[in-house]
Amino acid sequence: MKKLGFGLMRLPCINGDGKNIDLEKVKEMVDLFLAHGYTYFDTAYVYHGGFSEVAFRECVVKRHPRESFTVTTKLPLFPNPDRAGMERMFGESMERLGVDYIDYYWLHALNRGSYQFAVSSGAFDYLRELKAQGKIKHMGFSFHDNAETLDKILTEQPDMEFVQLQLNYLDWEDKGVQSRLCYEVATKHGKPVIVMEPIKGGSLANPVKKVEKMLKDAEPDMSCASWAIRFAASLPNVMVVLSGMSELWQVEDNLSYMDDFKPVTDEEKAILEEAAKELKFAIPCTACRYCTDGCPMNINIPEIFAAYNRMKQDIHKKWEAREKYAEILKTSGSPEDCIGCEQCVNACPQHLEIPKLLSECAGDLG
């Protein structure tokens, strides 16, 4: 399998409506992706409010032979489903996707808390049953926690076949995310890694000017995003690196260096280590948007955090960030509208204290 995967979390939308996906654009993107011999697509029950799976059916399943692609989707545990709830969500995913079987089926976003629920609710046993019935081909989980927790899960659930990890050169040595340590744990257990967030929600594709200059001086014709994806794809135990593409040019850029993939050299690794030292984010948000789907006040949390981060990275961007913030609020609830329900906190894979951070953003951007 080629090491580039198509992440269906950030698809192009019409008028900024996450549930109104621009299917014609997606068709053009997936056709080019498949034409170059790439096969791996990644979605989830919750992406785009469920419409990511539908878009996959319309753009891929109905238009391409089944043997030409593989698809991953995920069973969310954050609503604490019972067995009937798990069966319902799996059935909905099958219907939305329009397939007779799912190639890879994951438990979604495990951490130490949701792992205990997964065990007590029989979620792992449910995956085993689905595999025995031929409804899924492979089983595993996506993961957001520390290396110790990952080691515990893989020790106690040795038949899980794959692990999806947040991994990028900025988080490689991060004490919270622990990308390197988690990668080493998966490798120790013999579990291939699928990489999510290689560009950290797009932030590594558009870094501060100093980092951009470092990368462009070394490779003038390579995008900043290419450095991040190549870093992850160079790791020997990585099976595929997901890129959440939302524009055709992003597909074209990824293909330009992944078609004839060359691992990062030792010299390039040293450059990325220096780049990581320069990249500091006040709020380590990856713009996964899990927090926004259930927000009762319709607050565009990721975009607000992005404006705040840009201002904190470069004080000269303060007025630009404030203008961006004002633009966001034209179609979004304000941080002052937050009612503190904390559904966003429970949904956040990064474990961010979102209501508190929104208050800080309002203070500096408002």
Q: Average per-residue pLDDT in the chain?
A: 94
pLDDT tens digits, one per residue of 49-69: 999 999 999 999 999 999 999
Q: Is the per-residue pLDDT at 315 higher than 70?
A: no
pLDDT tens digits, one per residue of 267-284: 999 999 999 998 877 888
In a shared domain, residues 143 and 179: yes
In a shared domain, residues 241 and 303: no
DSSP character string of 155-204: HH-TT--EEEEE--TTTTT-TTT-HHHHHHHHHHTT--EEEE-TTTTTTT
* DSSP class of 175: T
Q: What is the mean pLDDT of residues 67-79?
A: 95
In a shared domain, residues 295 and 274: no
Tell me how far apart the alpha carbons of residues 25 and 246 are, in angstroms, rounded to a whole number: 9
User: Which CA distances in Å does 108 have to 7, 262, 349?
Assistant: 15, 31, 10
Its pTM stands at: 0.89
Q: What is the mean pLDDT of residues 19-44?
A: 97
Assign residue 217 the CATH number of its domain: 3.20.20.100
Q: Is the per-residue pLDDT at 142 higher than 90?
A: yes
Quickly count helices (H) and strands (E) in the chain: 16, 8
In a shared domain, residues 100 and 234: yes
The residue from 253, 278, 303 where one domain ends is 278
Q: What is the mean pLDDT of residues 11-39?
A: 95
Tell me how far apart the alpha carbons of residues 259 and 110 are, in angstroms, rounded to a whole number: 32
In a shared domain, residues 144 and 200: yes
The residue from 244, 278, 312 where one domain ends is 278
In a shared domain, residues 235 and 323: no
- Per-residue confidence (pLDDT) for residue 59, from 0 to 100: 98
In a shared domain, residues 270 and 195: yes
- Residue with the bigger pLDDT between 136 and 325: it is 136
- Residue with the bigger pLDDT between 195 and 345: it is 195
pLDDT tens digits, one per residue of 172-228: 999 889 999 999 999 999 999 999 999 998 889 988 889 999 999 999 999 999 999
On whether residue 14 sits in a domain, the answer given is yes
The residues facing 166 across adjacent strands are 196
- Per-residue confidence (pLDDT) for residue 201, from 0 to 100: 87
Residue range(s) defining the domain that contains residue 43:
4-278
In a shared domain, residues 167 and 304: no
Q: Is the per-residue pLDDT at 338 higher than 90?
A: yes
Q: Is the per-residue pLDDT at 3 higher than 70?
A: yes
On whether residue 283 sits in a domain, the answer given is no
Which regions of the chain does DSSP assign to beta strands (E)?
4-7, 40-42, 70-76, 102-110, 136-143, 162-166, 193-196, 238-243
Domain count of the fold of the chain: 2
Tell me how far apart the alpha carbons of residues 55 and 243 are, in angstroms, rounded to a whole number: 17
Asked if 298 and 338 touch (Cβ cutoff 8 Å), the reply is no
